[in-house]
Amino acid sequence: MDKQITVQQRVPEVGSRARESKLRQKIIQVWGFRAFYLMLLPGVIFYIVFKYIPMYGIIIAFKDFQMLDGIVGSHWADPWYKHFQQFFHSPYFGQLMVNTILISVYKLVFGIAPPIIMALLLNECRLRWFKTIVQTMTYMPHFLSWVIIYGILNTLLSQSSGIVNRWLVEGGGQSIGFMTSIDHFRTILVASEVWKDLGWGAIIYLAAMASIDPTLYEAVRVDGGSRLRMMWHITLPGIRNVIVLLLILKLGHIMDAGFDQIYILYNIQVYQVADILDTWVFRTGLQQLNFSLAAAVGLFKSIIGLVLVLGSNQLSKKWGESAW
């Protein structure tokens, strides 16, 4: 009987010692990577201060917010969904949703292939100097603001003095108001976005290609495979995870459609095809100081983005890929 009691007393002691040992090992492991955690600290602080703490402001969507009263002092909306109802019942709701989704889908569909193709071509290029020049030239537009790009587009496409319209007129045709035409404006938006981010996307894919095992290419070369075979059977499958990850991230922003670009490029003549949720909120929500409406639309967009990200990740898992 005494032996049984002794054994029962020893079991918890052994378990506690094992837990202490595991905890000590974790602490030692964390301390061993302290330099990496120190480098991670500024990014964590940034997200806490500018991403998580401002989430408190979500309650503005459910209040009749007044700047002088503040968030806490403002009265709750009656009913609580008042500002959501105002947005959903707006005569522009359908048009805004269609424009936002269509522009985002166009950018997503037509923006996937060009960076991948550019990265494949640069990866196969054996002239290092030529590869560097092309990579630099295609990457530079990523650093240009949309204000500068608007100036470039206006120089090219202006109906009165644009280079393209001069060619059309000199060729016997008529000038076209590309920037004020509802038939051409979405094409300009998508094309300028693809051109601006072409080099940035190519660099990401090139970095992914650099991690592919070179022996795989050697095996295909020994079997007599061409460069096209290598790209199709080795390179593309090797960067499949990165393609899926970028696709999921873009799906999470499908309700954004690019406020900076559209706000700078559009005008009242193309509202029919270019006015999106963000530009409408900026005009009716922020310029008219209706912050509650702006917060309600922002929360609506965030919920849709979250659903799309989670749904696309679950779908990618069924295909054998996942972002996390």
From the list 83, 106, 14, the residue with the least C-alpha distance to 281 is: 83
Omega before residue 79 within 30° of 0, cis:
yes
| Alpha-helical regions (H) of the chain | 2-32, 34-47, 70-73, 82-88, 93-124, 128-139, 146-157, 163-170, 185-209, 214-222, 227-230, 236-238, 240-252, 259-265, 271-274, 277-281, 291-318
pLDDT score for 321: 54
Cβ pair 298, 281 in contact under 8 A: yes
d(CA 308, CA 255): 10
pLDDT at 12: 55
pLDDT tens, 146-167? 999 999 998 998 888 889 888 8
Residues of the chain with pLDDT under 70: 1-18, 319-324
pLDDT computed for residue 194 by the predictor: 92
What pLDDT, on the 0 to 100 scale, is given for residue 7?
47
Helix axes of 2-32 and 34-47: crossing angle, nearest 10 degrees: 80
Q: Which superfamily is assigned to 92-318 in CATH?
A: MetI-like (1.10.3720.10)
Instruction: Tell me the C-alpha distance between 70 and 57, whole Å.
Output: 11
What are the tens digits of pLDDT across the range 47-103? 999 888 888 888 888 988 888 888 888 888 888 888 888 888 888 888 999 999 999
pLDDT of residue 13: 60
pLDDT at 18: 67
Can you give the pLDDT at residue 221?
80
Helices 291-318 and 240-252: angle between axes, nearest 10 degrees? 150
Structure tokens at 13: 């002691």
Cα three-residue angle 64-65-70, rounded to 5 degrees? 140
**3-state secondary structure at position 75:** strand
Please give the full DSSP string across 83-103, using - where no structure is assigned: HHHHHHTSTTHHHHHHHHHHH
**Residues 101/254, Cβ–Cβ less than 8 Å:** yes
Domain range list for the chain = 92-318
